[in-house]
Structure 1
Amino acid sequence: MTPLARTMSGLNIRNLVHWDKELKNDRAHRLAATVLKNYNADDALLNRSRLQEFENRSFNHQVTVDQLPVTNQRSSGRCWLFAATNQLRLNIIQNLNLKEFEISQAYLFFYDKLEKANYFLDQIVQTRKESIDSRLVQHLLKSPTEDGGQYSMFLNLVRKYGLIPKDIYGDLSYSSTSSSKWNALLTSKLRDFAQELREFSSDEDIADKLTSMQHELFKIFTLFMDLPPVQPDEEFSWTYSDKDKKLHTIKTTPLKFAKEYAQLDDSKPVSLINDPRHEYGRIIEIDRLGNVLGGETVRYLNLDSETLSQLVVDRIKNNKAVFFGSHTPRYMNKKFGIMDLQSWNYEAIGYHLKQSKEARIRYGDSLMTHAMLITAVHVDESSDKPLRYRVENSWGKDSGKEGSYVMTHEYFEQYSFQIVADIDQLPQELAKKFHDEQEEPILLPLWDPMGALAK
């Protein structure tokens, strides 16, 4: 058999010496090399003239409720839980006349990790006949109970467990704010269980084996976090002080708190993405991605970027904040609170990138990594097009300007992938796709970039 012809030769040291000599005679290259060998590239190439354009942080459309305090996920990948609860807390702040408020992120975090562990065990059972070396099984084993998630996973949790105030179950456990060691121990235990399940011979007794594993996992969980003090349908009492310093007490359950106070109608939110690899107007699903067995699958409607941005504008004008996912921290300046492609002068050092958004996804250079909240937008009055957005992050008040960022529309187009809107906000022909049984979804594998979990 003839070996494949080589398309290029190996590295030639003479070429390297020749090129190095050429570059040392290039004054622009010498200057750039001097700067980058002495300073961090992001600091050295920061376009401070561009930053001046963002000093005026005014927006002509914004949500009316003050969303303090700035939240902080700390050393955990809970951004999706923070973004989703930060969105809902605006309803509670307004309805109860509060100065500030937080929904318990730890409550959802505890149950999410427990549910993900159980979901993983079920996936291992389903794929027992697959080769251990198959891409699917290896991907399942890679990170079985990571912190990240998608909005549909958030809905799965709230439907089953509801919501409670942070006053009742806060971030008092070290592992809820710094989860790496807990994750490492869980991952090894789940891989240990995966081997047991794949080698288990009796299908009849596997349910008992799974229950035994759930019991052992719960024991591990409660070493790191306490079981939340109230069950989903159990009544709790919560006393709070409103803006006028008047004391109130309400009695409710977590499930009722989500519906009556956070005003979550879980039939309305839908996830919309911009994935230029696929036809717009199509439903996209991610195979085997989830957290709660029997819960909603990760399901998107693929739309062009212009439609997504218009839906954001419409939602802000209706006094509703927007959950969105982006490739963070790409082109993000934490000190100045800017998300902007033009804020770094890479052209000055001869560094050019040519790939489109579609190509970046295909070649593994871009995907959704973080979820945040859009709370304001500035629209050009002559063109009626958005120019910039105000973004509420969950990295504490020392990140950005007191926790908030300005995101340019160019950034939104190039590095944002997902927004969540209400289904009744969509044109009828798009809304009906979510419930049309004849609509054949594009099914993407678990490892596809659109299946990335926001952290």
Structure 2
Amino acid sequence: MHTLKMRPLLLASALFMGMGSGFAQDYLVNSLSSNQSKNSKDAFKFTEVINIENTPVKNQGSSGTCWSYSANSFIESEMIRMGKEPVAISQIFTARNAYVEKGKNYVRMHGAVTLGDGGALHDVINMYRKYGAVPQDIYTGLNYGTANNKFGEMGDLMKGVLEGVVKNGNGQLTPAWEKAYTGVIDTYLGTVPESFTYKGKKYTPITFAKDVIGINPDDYVEISSFTDYPMYSKFTLLVPDNWSFDQVYNVKLAELTDVIDNALKKGYSVAWAGDVSEKGFSWKNGMAYVPTKNFAEMTPAEKEDMFVGPRDEPTITDAMRQAAFDNYQTTDDHGMHIVGLAKDQNGKEYYIVKNSWGATNDYKGYLYMSKNFIKYKTTAILLNKNGIPSGISKKLNI
């Protein structure tokens, strides 16, 4: 998930979801964290309303794979909800398979589609369906001498191979290019095991997904809200990292949070994709909200105190949301995992969101995101269809 924006923090926000550019994650996190306030945590008093069990916070390293980390975290919580012992799923196994499929699409489209690390939440479900899954310790994706993901060099080589294929000095494709392209990926990430042993039993990736993880890919849908498509229909989400051209359901703006609320109340967590480049997002402080005043118009004191205690927010309208998407102010920068609901000392509700940048902020890897921020900055959510309110389900014909 990435789209370039013509404004500050352009690279920091865009590269997380998608560009295999070699920028280190610590640089990106520090850039995003530059907008922060002192003593922010002390100024908020949160009371948990819902906290859905989830697995430990992970770190995506220097890779644009948050889509895989967030949606696999979501699947791990689905296992817990179903009464299963959760497995630490290999996010890079998912990403590796998506890169293979993305490469095929790139060649079919004569190079007119996005490359890079980026992806979408549905890619995790699609790869699970086609390739299965493996435990993290079976496929770490660290086959190149580092302790954490570092995809820049690999990404450049992948791009070079595919661009050479599309340019095609032979005048027609040979059967060898797919092997050459996959060979680059597997050299860096490791060869996928045909079978492996887990708790004394032998599995393939497909049988492991079926017999141990046990989710049904058909149970999961993506939802968004835009005014330029008919309500309660499906449409192709036009963001660069929707390389597979998957479709999402369209609901009214207020229904977007209604869906999330209903899912959480019924014990379903929600995977989230959206924009984190706004000045109202602070990773260090673990807060995301929509300021009432434009950052450029704030006084230095107002900027310094942006995250010191609850703040008012504007009413988010359909027109505001649509305009922000149309003018590149809202892009698919990042993916995270909504695992709960909380209230501040004034009774205002926030979603509890799990990130994949390590336990490096004030809330040890989690943040509090206002409902207005969700309405304004979401590009799509992924959830179990049984978490959707029945009235909306009926309208969507799910």
Which category of TM-score, normalised to the shorter sequence, fits these structures? 0.7 to 0.9
Equivalent pair of 2:337/2:353 in contact (CA under 8 Å): yes
Q: Shift of the alpha carbon at 1:164?
A: 1.0
Deviation at 1:96, TM superposition (A): 5.0
Residue aligning to 2:210: 259
Counterpart among 198, 202, 223 of residue 238 in structure 1: 198
* 2:332 aligned partner: 368
1:325-371 Cα deviation digits (max 9, x unpaired): 11023232122211122399834339999992221212222112111
> Alignment partner for residue 150 of structure 2, among 162, 165, 178?
178
Indicate yes or no: 2:323 matched with 1:337.
Answer: no
Superposition deviation, residue 379 in structure 1:
6.6
Amino acid at match of 1:82: Y
The one-letter code matched in structure 2 to 1:237 is T
Shift of 1:284: 0.8
How far apart, in 2, do the equivalents of 1:195 and 1:425 lie? 46
Query: Structure 1 349/397 Cα, relative in aligned 2: closer, same or farther at 3 Å?
Result: same
Structure scoring higher RCO (CA < 8 A, sep ≥ 6) equals 2
1:323 aligns to what? 271
Cα deviations across residues 225-261 of structure 1 (Å, max 9, x unaligned)?
221123xxx4x3213xxxxxxxxx3443322322333
| In 2, Cα distance between equivalents of 1:434 and 1:160 | 26
- 1:244-283 → structure 2 map (5 Å cutoff): 249-283=200-234
Distance 2:33 2:294 in 1: 9
Secondary structure of the residue that 2:101 maps to in structure 1?
A: helix
Give, as a single letter, the amino acid of the residue that structure 1 aligns with 2:155. N
Q: For residue 87 of structure 1, what is the amino acid of its counterpart?
A: F
Q: 1:177 to 1:47 in 2, by over 3 A?
A: closer
CA pair 427-322 structure 1, distance change in 2 beyond 3 A: closer
Match of 1:412 among 370, 374, 377: 374
Give the letter aligned to residue 119 of structure 1: N
Alignment of 1:192-211 (within 5 A): 192-196=164-168, 200=171, 206=172, 209-211=173-175
Shift of 1:323: 0.3
1:58 partner amino acid: T
The Cα offsets for residues 365-418 of structure 1, whole Å up to 9 and x where unpaired, read as: 2112111000001379x9xx9710100000111145111001111211111221
Deviations 1:65-117 (A, max 9, x none): 2522x10111101111111111111244574556xx52011211222212211
* Contact map agreement 2:69 2:91 (CA 8 A) in 1: yes
Q: Structure 1: where are the runs of 5+ without partners?
A: 1-39, 125-136, 201-205, 240-248, 437-455
In 1: Cα distance, 2:32 partner to 2:98 partner = 38
Partner amino acid for 1:341?
V
Matches within 5 A, 1:79-228: 79-92=66-79, 95=83, 97=85, 101-124=87-110, 139-140=112-113, 143-144=114-115, 146-174=116-144, 177-196=149-168, 200=171, 206=172, 209-228=173-192
Distance in 2 of aligned mates of 1:405 and 1:283: 31
Q: Deviations over 1:193-242 (max 9, x none)?
A: 11118x72xxxxx5xx3421112213322332221123xxx4x3213xxx
Distance in 2, matches of 1:312 and 1:411, equals 13
Tell me, yes or no, if the aligned pair for 1:311 and 1:421 is still in contact at 8 Å: no
Distance 1:147 1:343, change over 3 A: farther
On the 8 A contact 1:378/1:387 being kept in 2, the answer is yes
Name 2:256's counterpart in structure 1.
308
**Cα RMSD over matched residues?**
3.6
Instruction: Say if 1:325 and 1:416, in contact at 8 Å, map to a contact too.
Output: yes
Equivalent residues of 2:78, 2:268 under 8 A apart: no
The answer to whether residue 64 in structure 2 is matched with residue 77 in structure 1 is yes
Identity across the alignment (%): 19
Whether the 8 Å contact between 2:141 and 2:188 is mirrored in structure 1 is: no
Matched, 1:423 2:365: no
- Mapped to 2, the partners of 1:298 and 1:400 lie a distance apart of 36
Are 1:59 and 2:70 matched, yes or no? no
User: Alignment length, in residue pairs?
Assistant: 348
2: CA distance, partners of 1:309 / 1:158: 27
Distance 1:369 1:345, change over 3 A: closer
Q: Structure 2 vs 1, CA of residues 287 and 392 (structure 1 numbering), >3 Å: closer, same or farther?
A: closer
Residue of structure 1 in register with 2:5 after alignment: none
Contact 1:46 1:344 in 2 (8 A): no
Distance 1:177 1:41, change over 3 A: closer
Inter-partner Cα distance in structure 2 for 1:389 and 1:187:
37
Task: Mark the CA change 1:412 to 1:366 in structure 2 (over 3 Å): closer, same or farther.
Answer: same
In structure 2, runs of 5+ residues without a counterpart are 1-30, 304-313
Distance 1:427 1:92 in 2: 21
1:158 to partner: Cα distance: 0.8
Separation in 2 of the partners of 1:264 and 1:418?
Answer: 21
Distance (whole Å) between structure 2 residues aligned to residue 432 and residue 213 of structure 1: 46
Query: Residue 308 of structure 2 corresponds to which residue in structure 1?
Result: none
TM-score by length of 1: 0.67
